[in-house]
A = this chain, B = another copy of it.
Amino acid sequence: MQAVSAKNLLKAPGLLSQVYLRCFSNATFHKKDIVFEPTQNPKPLPKFDSSLKFGHCPSDHIFEADWNSVSGWQTPKISAYRAFAIDPLNSTLHYAIQCFEGLKAFYGVDKQIRLFRPERNMKRFRSSCNRIALPDFDENELLECLKEYVKVEKRWVPNVPDFSLYLRPTAISMTDALGVRQPDQSKVYIVSTPVGPYFPSGFKPIRLYAEKQFIRAFPGGYGQYKLGANYGPTIMVSREAEKKGFHQILWLTDNKITEIGASNIFFFLVNEQGEKELVTAPIDGLSLPGVVRDSVLTLAREMGEFKVSERYLKIEDFTQAIKEKRIIEAFGAGTAMTLAPVELIHYDDIDYKIPVDPVHQAGDLTRTLLKKIKDIQYGVTPHPWGVVVA
């Protein structure tokens, strides 16, 4: 920041407000300032079994940090989970001024609780906030606040294989006025819900519907951010595919395969040069920079056994490869599913079947990579990606 005299500072309103926020106010919230008000009514824990529905059972507490344009970030607090009072004019309800993150806390084999590469979620959350005109903050401070929150909710992290505590950092406008403009009040909050395995009774490969009419993301848009705007509009499209018996949408933009549902997708194939290659879409604005996606790429490169590429596969490249029996495996990758084998893609009235090992219901590479990731998450393999919290 440029040095500025008090005299000049008063003359320059734009600069003044910047200096004001940095020097005289709170440009971020801080973990050290958290006020903790424990709940007076701790809930009984739900059963950590197949009856547990994703996202339905909030834990005891909520982390909140409020912001306003006059005095910046206010004192953060962790207190009893509760509903917000939201004005009917609130601009989150009208203009989708909102974004979120999703990550998990794992109870390890060594009884330690770990997050998986959480700094990546904090970084992405900050970039989403910037894109949707919500205020900036220090991503390291948010990570420290998140860790503090997980410590408070420790008993909610299931000590059951393949279970975890799903954490949901969220940012919303709290401006109570109509008008499509930058909010002058907002809130960052974190809530959590315990979650079971994506496949409660072992792998069940998924079937995808390659969507020709509707597009999820487009060049010049915001497909790389976790904005609410990227999710609601997909529901109607997914519902139609589900009615036809498919689990998720395979999203195409200009025939390029980008994502499935709300996850990234990988193809393990023999390419036209006869080489084994693991392929996923590049991060150029159409797909989310997934944490599991990046982990798959890194681990697969470390294996050193095949080519690993971030490049577009067009849907016709895929159908051609299927016809020539060059697709070895395909799998989705995301925080909710970790890795999910794909057994079929429906495109243009044709079902294209992807090989799946009939015994394990997933390909060898899918299983190998999933084991590597889970072993880090649950503390079986010591690794810098597993960040111990408590």
Contacts and interface: CB of A to CB of B under 8 A. Distances in A.
A221 B222 contact: no
Contacts of A178: 54-56, 166, 168, 193
A85 interface: yes
Nearest to A62: B88
A106 to B, nearest CB: 18
A172 interface: yes
Nearest to A92: B93
A57 to B, nearest CB: 9
A358 interface: no
Interface string A177-194: 111111000000101010
A325 interface: no
Interface stretch (A44-52, A113-121, A130-138, A303-311): A130-138
Interface in A90-142: 92-98, 100, 130-133
A229 interface: yes
Contact of A228 (B95, B213, B221, B230): B95
B55 A131 contact: no
A94 B100 contact: yes
A189 B90 CA distance: 13
Contacts of A172: 93
Contacts of A191: 88-89
B96 A132 contact: no
A214 interface: yes
A109 B85 CA distance: 40
A33 interface: no
Interface in A161-179: 166, 168, 170, 172, 177-179
Interface stretch (A2-10, A21-29, A234-242, A291-299): A234-242
Nearest to A57: B177
Contact of A229 (B83, B96, B177): B96
Contacts of A262: 180
Contact of A236 (B132, B168, B231): B132
Interface residues of A, number: 61
A170 B235 contact: no
A274 interface: no
A202 interface: no
B177 A97 contact: no
A384 interface: no
A370 interface: no
B239 A182 contact: yes
Contacts of A87: 58, 83-84
Contact of A227 (B180, B221, B232): B232
Contacts of A94: 98, 100, 168, 170, 228, 231
A215 interface: yes
Which has the most chain B C-beta neighbours within 10 Å: A86, A94, A181, A215?
A94
Given A56-B177, A236-B130, A170 B88 contact: yes
18 contacts: A55-B177, A83-B88, A84-B85, A85-B86, A89-B168, A93-B98, A94-B228, A95-B228, A97-B235, A131-B233, A132-B232, A180-B261, A213-B220, A215-B218, A215-B219, A215-B220, A222-B233, A229-B230
Interface of A: 53-56, 58, 62, 81, 83-89, 92-98, 100, 130-133, 166, 168, 170, 172, 177-182, 189, 191, 193, 213-215, 218-222, 227-236, 238-239, 261-262
